[in-house]
Amino acid sequence: MASLVLGIESSCDETGVALVKSAGQAVPQLLAHALHTQMAMHADYGGVVPELASRDHIRRVLPLTEDVLQQAEQALENVDVVAYTRGPGLAGALLVGAGVACALAAALGKPVLGVHHLEGHLLSPFLSADPPEFPFIALLVSGGHTQLMRVDGVGRYSLLGETIDDAAGEAFDKSAKLLGLGYPGGPALARLAEFGDPTAYKLPRPLLHSGDLDFSFAGLKTAVLTQAKKFEGAPCDQMRADLAASTQAAIVEVLIKKSIKALEQTGLKRLVVAGGVGANAALREQLNEACAKRGVRVHYPELHLCTDNGAMIALAAAMRIDAGVETPQANYAFDVKPRWPLDFSLLA
Ligand code: KG4
Ligand code: ZN
């Protein structure tokens, strides 16, 4: 039977709400989604201010919900399940989404489901025009996480490798800051890199030959800092663009080599790239080329669903329910999990 799942995302600096329709075995269909990004609000501080983030989620979440219901031409009463991001993320920000989701569900007498934010990212390519099939390797590259997972089905995730320090998105953001670019740095650094020479500066590729599937990006940031200091005085635009391009090249090379290694080790021929850094054009271009050479299919979320959004949360909830991995409960005593590993803990 078809059911409507409302999803609420509030783990960091984006308030996202979406409505999906699930109909059993087929991939759930996205009916409507709405997003408010707090980027401009945090830009003055050079990063996310958790207290401001929570307050803004409170302001946005209900108007966005109304917007989504209106777009989908659905009444609130028609919602069958309310899903929310339970973690990981900023505790206060998560509590807003969880609180609102549970209050709405309680008022409607409908069940709720807390979703893992990374599971949302991981499954988000199922909403694309070219959805993947299980099993696949997932490269999860967000602002807080860099992980390679083996995905055998909904809820069947095993961690193959992860960053031992900074995440790839963090490496983009911190390097961007050192180059005097605004927040969030990833897209800004990528734009500047278009005008630079990726071979201009020799930057480290940490753990490239470590033999395992772990990552490390903290050393890269230090190398960028050392180089940026040499610019002191007046770096010309070309020098900054060259350093941006060299930084991006270092991050992209490590992500690609390790993804290929994970595919080789497991013998899988399918890769899913998800999370904010998955929007990076250089990564997509080079990864497509590397995978095409090896007969590997690569799947991405739609560009606008790469970064945080409510659609992936509603989708993950619907897929978990449809796969029989989880049954939503009409239990409105909620908690959030600011730190929450995504591996066997989500097994059916
Ligand atoms: O998945 P996401 O929206 O949030 C987290 O769950 O963390 O990822 C945000 C991260 C930020 O570090 C941002 O700089 C990075 O993704 N990002 C990019 C690009 N777009 C977003 N990094 C590189 N190139 C991009 N085009
Ligand atoms: Zn995210």
Q: What confidence score (pLDDT) does residue 348 get?
A: 43
pLDDT band at 1 (very low <50, low <70, confident <90, very high): low
147-175 pLDDT, tens per residue? 999 999 999 999 999 999 999 999 999 99
5-47 pLDDT, tens per residue? 999 999 999 999 999 999 887 899 999 999 999 999 998 898 8
Rounded CA-CA distance 239/221 in Å is 17
DSSP codes of every residue in 197-252: -TTSS----TTTTSSSS-B--HHHHHHHHHHHHHT-S---HHHHHHHHHHHHHHHH
In this structure, are residues 291 and 194 in contact, taking their beta carbons and an 8 Å threshold? no
Q: What confidence score (pLDDT) does residue 61 get?
A: 98
Q: What confidence score (pLDDT) does residue 29 get?
A: 97
27-37 pLDDT, tens per residue? 999 999 999 99
308 lines ligand 1 (CB under 6 A): yes
CA of 122 from ligand 2 middle (Å) equals: 10
CA of 109 from ligand 1 middle (Å) equals: 36
Q: What value does the mean pLDDT take over residues 223-231?
A: 90
309 lines ligand 1 (CB under 6 A): no
CA of 296 from ligand 2 middle (Å) equals: 25
Average pLDDT across the chain, whole number:
94
Tokens of 85: 């991001």
Q: Which atom of ligand 1 is nearest to the CA of 307?
A: 3
119 lines ligand 1 (CB under 6 A): no
Q: What value does the mean pLDDT take over residues 289-297?
A: 98
pLDDT band at 345 (very low <50, low <70, confident <90, very high): low
Ligand approaching nearest to the C-alpha of 145: 1
Q: What value does the mean pLDDT take over residues 97-102?
A: 98
Q: What is the reported pTM?
A: 0.94
Nearest CA to ligand 1 atom 14: 186
Nearest CA to ligand 1 atom 3: 307
186 lines ligand 1 (CB under 6 A): yes
277 lines ligand 1 (CB under 6 A): yes
Residue with tokens 């609000």: 41
Nearest to 38 by CA among 86, 101, 90, 2: 90
Beta strand residue intervals within the chain, DSSP E = 3-9, 14-22, 29-37, 81-87, 112-116, 136-141, 146-153, 156-162, 270-274, 297-299
Q: What percent of the chain has pLDDT over 70?
A: 98
The single-letter DSSP state of residue 279 is: G
Higher-confidence residue of 143 and 291: namely 291
For residue 110, the SS3 value is coil
pLDDT score of 235 more than 70: yes
pLDDT score of 347 more than 60: no
Q: Which atom of ligand 1 is nearest to the CA of 279?
A: 26
The torsion angles phi and psi of 149, rounded to 5 degrees, stand at: -125, 150
- CA angle in degrees (0–180, nearest 5) for 119-124-129: 160
Q: State which of 122, 140, 172 you would mutate to test the pocket of ligand 1, scoring each by most atoms of that ligand within 8 A of its C-beta.
A: 172
pLDDT score of 311 more than 80: yes
